[in-house]
Each structure stands twice: as structure tokens, then as C-alpha cells.
Structure 1
């Protein structure tokens, strides 16, 4: 009986999340109502409130799950190994492709700017640690290089999502790695 409830709970949350993301694709969060999300999900308001306090709570939970998944991927690879850096970037791009509706919406003009900053800072922190370990750049350059690569990579991903994922995750990962490597190479000369 408990697994049936868990399945129903997961389904309800999934439908609410999908309905909310659909609304965010159409208009800013500040103009979305719980009523319209519930109508689209075909779920009553009391059911919504049994899962979330409000739309911001729902948004926070969606964003936190994505941040958690990205962080898990970033921490499971050694960036200083070229092959692992490529594989890690491919894994991130595969994750984004699998969750493209949510990611595209959250990285769009209707998305939460704070979420976008969190993703950039997460990437920045991981890159900074990698650059310090590699000693590729002078210490004062590591922070700037890390910010440059993180911001540039996020914009490449945003454009990839906006253009309908025309390239494969592997192609985008290879592009990001090539751009990041050329930036590092330029500092060594």
C-alpha cells in the first residue's frame, strides 16, 4: 500500500512540475497562479498545497534537484585528467538534454536569475579548484579564468537549448572543452 502512495505522490509532483514548467515557458513566474498550474495538471489546489507551500517552493525544489544532480556529476570526476574532463562534460550535457524542458525554461528570460547565478557559481567553484590543482594559471588568473570558462559555458548551453539541441551532447561537450583548453593555452604563452 505504501509503494502505491509513493507512486501517486511522485506522479502528482511530476505532473505539477511539468505544468509549472509549461506555464513558465509562456510567461514570468510573477504572473503564474497556482490555480492555472493546477488546472493544467488536472489536480485540485488542496493537493498542490499538500506538496508545496506556494509556487516559489515548487520552483526552489526543481532548482535544488538540478543543482544537486549537477554537483554530483561535477564531484565524481577528476578534471585534471583530460579524458575525465571530457566525459564529465558529456555527462552534464546528457543530463541537460534529458531535462531540456526544465533546463531551457530555467535558463530562459522567464527563469530565476538567482538559479542561473547558482549554476555559474557551482561551475566556477569546481573549475577554480581544478585550476588550482593543475597550477595551469597564475593564482590571480585562476579565478578570472574560472569565471570566464563557467560563464562562457553556461551561455553556450543556453544557446544550445534555445536552438533546439541541434548538436549532440558529445558535440557540445567537445566544443566547451576545446574553448576552455584554448583559453588555458593562451595563458601559458
Structure 2
């Protein structure tokens, strides 16, 4: 209930520093004592929310790394589908510095694993993993921040077109 309250409050006022225990507890319909039974403070609540969503993203990324019956495009589309159904959470988490860094690390792991598993010898001038990861994170953040007006399938196609040229 506290997590839902945080997202509800941030939907009304997106400034993290305006969150207070009193506001979150009130929005959740609970008292502050109950809040403190579960969290030390607002930052602890935000950290736990971030960790939970990052864990889900990590599980999804791991599943995609090991999926043998999906093409690379299908794997990326499935990851974007997951992000597409969690826009409110992700918009909030993008405001927390550590989330973008963690998303970067997850995508970097996915790219590195795909490169290790490829049977092709990559040319010396192949796009560096960090550069490719940074561009993907940037695209994903732009897509979510601008309201997800495009489908995950469309974004996947655009990413593949971008890397082809």
C-alpha cells in the first residue's frame, strides 16, 4: 500500500523531495507508526521500491539471455513490453539516479552476453558495449518519458534500423 501511495503521490507531484512519511501514510490510509514498522524513512522506501523493480528487470533480462527459441529482436521486444506495462513505476524510478545506472548495468550485461554467445567474429570497429548500452538506455528513457506513444515492437524495429546503418 505504501508503494502504491508513493506512485500515486508522485503522479500528482513528481518532485521526490516533496514526499513525506505523513503524506505517504495518509495516501496509503495507514498511520506513520505502520510506516516505520516497515521502513526507516522515505529514502529507505524508495530504495526498496527501486530494488524490487530492478530485481524484476534483472530476472526478465536473465530469462531473455537464456531464451534459445527467441530471436534477438523478439528478446528486445519482450524486454520493452515489460517496460511498457510499468511506465508509472519507471518514470518515478528514472528520477532516482541509481536506477538509470542499474538499468545501464543490466543492459550492458545483456549485450555482453549476446556478444559472447555469438558465433561470428566481430570486426575491430564494432560499436563498443558501453556506447551501445548508453544509446539503448537513452532511447528507452526517451520513449518512457515521452509517454510511450510508440509500441515496443516499433521501438525495437527503430533500434535495429539504427544499428544497421
d(CA) in 2 for partners of 1:97, 1:71: 16
Moved more, 150-159 or 81-90: 81-90
Q: Quote the residue 2:156 is aligned against.
A: 173
Are 1:77 and 1:84, in contact at CA under 8 Å, matched by a contact in 2?
no
Q: CA shift at 1:137, angstroms?
A: 4.1
CA pair 78-33 structure 1, distance change in 2 beyond 3 A: closer
Secondary structure in structure 2 of the residue aligned to 1:50: helix
Q: Quote the residue 1:19 is aligned against.
A: 5
TM-score normalised by the chain length of structure 1: 0.74
d(CA) in 2 for partners of 1:121, 1:81: 22
Q: Quote the residue 1:102 is aligned against.
A: 89
Are 2:65 and 2:113, in contact at CA under 8 Å, matched by a contact in 1?
no
Are 2:14 and 2:92, in contact at CA under 8 Å, matched by a contact in 1?
no
CA pair 42-127 structure 1, distance change in 2 beyond 3 A: same
Match of 1:121 among 101, 105, 108: 105
Q: Quote the residue 1:33 is aligned against.
A: 20
CA pair 123-137 structure 1, distance change in 2 beyond 3 A: farther
Secondary structure in structure 2 of the residue aligned to 1:76: helix
Aligned length, in residue pairs:
162
d(CA) in 1 for partners of 2:57, 2:72: 14
Q: CA shift at 1:44, angstroms?
A: 0.9
Could you report, residue by residue, the CA deviation over 1:3-35 in whole angstroms, capped at 9, with x for unpaired residues? xxxxxxxxxxxx311221233452433332111
1:40-51 superposed matches below 5 A = 40-51=27-38
The 4+ residue runs of structure 1 with deviation greater than 4 A are 78-83
1:1-189 superposed matches below 5 A = 15-25=1-11, 26-78=13-65, 83-107=70-94, 111-134=95-118, 135-138=121-124, 145-180=128-163, 182=164
Q: CA shift at 1:130, angstroms?
A: 1.9
TM-score normalised by the chain length of structure 2: 0.83
d(CA) in 2 for partners of 1:133, 1:149: 17
Q: CA shift at 1:112, angstroms?
A: 1.1
Are 1:89 and 1:173, in contact at CA under 8 Å, matched by a contact in 2?
yes
d(CA) in 1 for partners of 2:110, 2:101: 14
Are 1:127 and 1:146, in contact at CA under 8 Å, matched by a contact in 2?
yes
